[in-house]
Chains A and B, each alone.
Chain A
Amino acid sequence: MGIENAMKTIRTKRYLKFLVILLLSGGPGIVLSQPVPGPDENIPYLITFGKDSKTSWGDDDFSQTFFFTVPKDFKDPFYIRIFDPEIGGKTDELNNFWNTRTLYSVYGGRGCYTNPDAKGITPGGNYKSGTLLASRVFAMENKLDEQWYTFGPFNPADGEYYPKFSSNVFKIICDGLAGDDGNLYRYFLSRRPDTNIPIEGANAFTYEYTFRMWNNNDTSYVSHIYPFIDSGCIYIKQKNFDWDNDGDFIVVSTERKGQKLPLSNEDNWTDFNMPILDAEIGKSLDFRFYKRRGELVRNNNVVMSVENQYGENLQFFSAPIGGVPVYRPRIKATKK
């Protein structure tokens, strides 16, 4: 099953009665919320550092791009909300003194997603492709500390329609313009400007995930990200940056359970090729990140991306396509 079929499944389910939808919530193909990071990911925050920071603090390029998909049948205005957009206060990473400014910019229109530069994992070329719909620079603003800021309203028709998703696609980029502090934040795609009301069938994804790990040394805190395996994929090459060897990285799918993959150390990349099974095509993998037991790796910020055998980057969906993969062992008993 390719992503197109997966998205069509989402469309179809949309017309079910509300009660039925509630009963089925969380099942494969049903996406009811667009918090970023998603609830299944269990990631506390996204993070983007000011461009004067060191990469060893956990951000390789001081920029992070996310895409929101809004179903083509959704015609109402919607909003993109940011939790704790400013840099300062309780929920950001201070380096000496707060001196960081970040730019959030929202794009729609032609090329905002389909421009090849938009799908990269580094902020180069025309990565800000499309039509700028809204933007704002944030620095230290106490009134926004741990508060939501809302962009919009946006007209769904102002996105770039992408048939494979049957959705209008919008892009939001967070660039660290200046300074050397870390900006911790989250997104929510909402139907309302003042509260988080999800758009049924919407989703969010990125090609390079830069996020904050939990601040504890308890292996029960497990973060997940869910790369989607599109058709034609033979193997993937996962790349991760500045993990400080913090715990274990294992992969789970409907076809595999608990295989260990390598994690990077301080300020370096590591990668690993992993064959993909036919039965994993059209589904999501579950990349699980367990914090290290023992000595705490504090404020660990990390970067992750995945590409296929052609070097094409794969999407990490906040609500995993096909649902969170569950491995079901299969027992065969043979008489001796």
Chain B
Amino acid sequence: MKRSLIYSLILLLLVIRPIDIEAQAKGSFEVTPLSAVATNSDEFAPVIVEDGILFCSNRKTNPFTTHKNFEGIRLYDLFFAPFDEEGKPGKAVKFTAGLGKNTNIGPAYLSPDGNTLWFTRNYLEGTKLKKNQPNNLGIFTARKQGSGWTDITPFRYNDPSYNLSYPFVSSDGKYLFFASDMPGTLGKYDIFMSENSNGEWGKPVNLGNSVNSADAEIHPFLHSSGRLYFTSDRTGGQGGLDIWYSVSSAGSWSKPVVLSDPINSEADDFAYYAVSNGQEGYFSSNRRKFSDDIFRFATTIIRWSNCDTLQKNSYCYEFVEEKAILGDTLGLRYRWEWNFGDGTRASGIRTEHCFAGPGVYDVSLDMINLVTGGIEKRQASYELEIEDVEQPVINAPDRVTAGETFSLNAGDTYLPGMKIARYYWNFGDETEAVGIDVSKSFPVPGRYNIQLIVSSEPGAGGVIREVCVCRDIEVVSNGN
């Protein structure tokens, strides 16, 4: 099914319009083929469900019977590969029967509660089909009953005149994303969204020309980070189908960003699906030339799960003369006068003072007799030692504009006794850098959590000490 789509898309690549492209910096991901489910047939569109992955394949399942379309291509169906003890998908089995006969089934999406299956299927089942009869794709749902599925229901806006496919429902169940060539499509295939209101799905809305192009956009996947990943053959990618993402902000979608290699390649790379922290997931690719295969990706970027928030150095203190009593007589005939040891003074039983910076300050308290004017010097003293917080320090603007290159600096890092060997930056968008001074540009607006991980040179016994701090940077779009 996918292959046919790709073929049709190739014909449509004749119309190319130039667009602005923000390429994601080279990603630090390790990509490995999912050998356990690989065959000589196609496997693609993996979706993670509770205990395994659900994917689409046209593999041969019966040595004696093969279901093909009129073009001789084996029909696609859904398969399930359960996770093994290590959390890796194992040997795949046919997901279920009963979703359709002699028809393409898949890709699919399983609701988080596991009770509703959204899947793509030809409108007409094969037994009723005549050669050259149009048989587009539609979206259907099925309800789980026992170990099987029932109540197969077409999506309200299915129309046999058009294709509706690749369903994905947001985790709150409110939005259905899908790809279609239905009226209102800007290119060949666009991504649409339908909103569920009071149990009724609303009329599909085209996501607009930020997401959709004159080419084809398919395989929507809304990640918990807010990124809408999709597949497109638009220009700006690495070739063929590539995986892109866009972020919704203030009612509009940002300019799409194409994922870097090794996820995208010169081959067709499509159907991206990631776990909630974005650190690992699956996608499909025909980079191995033989067929569409499922690949697993996992980040190689270092990111601490427990990284201390950068603390602001404070040199301001409140000073209180704890024994002073104010209220039970006619008032005081003494005045408390503070000498902060930095050439400044203040009066009062309670006062505040901000010092210029770290140091040792001899804070003392004189008492002024208001009757005689006499000064009783240094009635109390306090050696105040102010140190910076022992931490790596991220010097960077709090707010930058998307696309703007800005500098980050770790020069104010204060880690006494630590001989620093490396400053490692994790920018929170799957990119990284190394060095005390680095620069960065965020293509997409949002709030990014930057981690700075400082490593020491090997100490006794070769032990390397590492310290991590993090802080947020807000990236706003142009004009905000």
Contact = CB atoms under 8 A, between A and B. Distances in A.
Contacts of A259: 325, 328-333
A251 to B, nearest CB: 7
Interface string A321-336: 0000001111111111
Contacts of A277: 325
A221 to B, nearest CB: 10
Nearest to B366: A329
Given A250-B333, A262-B330, A333 B363 contact: yes
Nearest to B318: A334
B367 A329 contact: yes
B157 interface: no
The interface residues of chain A, by DSSP majority, are classed as strand
A4 interface: no
B384 interface: yes
B8 interface: no
Given A328-B380, A333-B363, A220 B372 contact: yes
Interface string A246-276: 0110110001111111100000000010110
B351 to A, nearest CB: 11
A326 to B, nearest CB: 9
Contacts of A222: 372
Interface string A296-336: 00000000000000000000000000000001111111111
Contacts of B324: 257, 329
Interface string B355-389: 00000000101010111101000011110100000
Contacts of B322: 330-332
B118 to A, nearest CB: 55
A214 interface: no
A147 interface: no
Contacts of B367: 257-258, 329
B371 A250 contact: yes
A251 B371 CA distance: 13
B316 interface: yes
Contacts of B32: none
A78 interface: no
B369 A258 contact: yes
Nearest to B361: A333
B322 to A, nearest CB: 5
A331 B317 contact: no
A286 to B, nearest CB: 13
Contact of B379 (A251, A275, A329, A333): A329
A219 interface: yes
A174 B371 CA distance: 34
Interface in B313-355: 314, 316-325, 328-334, 336, 352, 354
A290 interface: yes
B350 to A, nearest CB: 10
B382 A248 contact: no
Contacts of B325: 255-256, 259, 277
A270 B365 CA distance: 34
B379 A336 contact: no
B318 A336 contact: yes
A331 B320 contact: yes
B319 A333 contact: yes
Interface in A71-103: none
B332 A330 contact: no
Given A275-B328, A330-B321, A260 B382 contact: no
A333 B382 contact: yes
Contact of B323 (A275, A327, A335): A327
B200 to A, nearest CB: 56
A329 B329 contact: no
In the A-B complex, the 10 residue pairs with the smallest Cβ-Cβ separation, listed nearest first, are A258-B334, A259-B329, A329-B380, A336-B316, A331-B382, A260-B330, A219-B372, A330-B322, A258-B333, A290-B371
8 contacts: A258-B332, A258-B369, A262-B330, A329-B380, A330-B322, A334-B318, A335-B314, A335-B317
Interface of A: 219-220, 222, 247-248, 250-251, 255-262, 272, 274-275, 277, 290, 327-336
